[in-house]
Amino acid sequence: MPFVRAHIRRGESRQYRQAILDNVYQALRETFNVPEEDQFMVVDEYDPDNFIFSKSYMNIARSDKFVLLQLTVSNTRSVEQKKALYLRIVERLAEQPGIRAEDIFINLVEVEKENWSFGHGLAQYAQ
């Protein structure tokens, strides 16, 4: 049920983009108990003029390899699970495709379970 948007600067390889998506998905499976095949993700690429971020906010030195991840999820996870997810995403992306921890920004957007429709015009999670 998570919906993941990865925002990056234009120019990275298909393998780089796929490694981001694969590793975020695996981190979600490991920490948020996301079922197999529950994978809905996009990569948005921007020219440098359209991808603005602080190089030093909160004393974090960011590079041009900055990645902004926005994950829309149901509001069913604990603070501990969220912290575990952030850490696991950073660990996995450091391994593959080699993104520095300083260059990974994660934003969770939590929604009620009835705000999802996976097809057929139905709210599959609505009670």
Strand partners for 74: 111
> Does the annotation mark 2 as catalytic?
yes
d(CA 73, CA 20): 18
Q: Catalytic one among 2, 35, 48, 97? A: 2
Q: Which of 3, 12, 23, 22 is nearest to 66 (CA)?
A: 12
Any residues with CB less than 8 A from the CB of 117 and at least 6 apart, and which? 123, 124
Q: Which residues are marked as active site?
A: 2
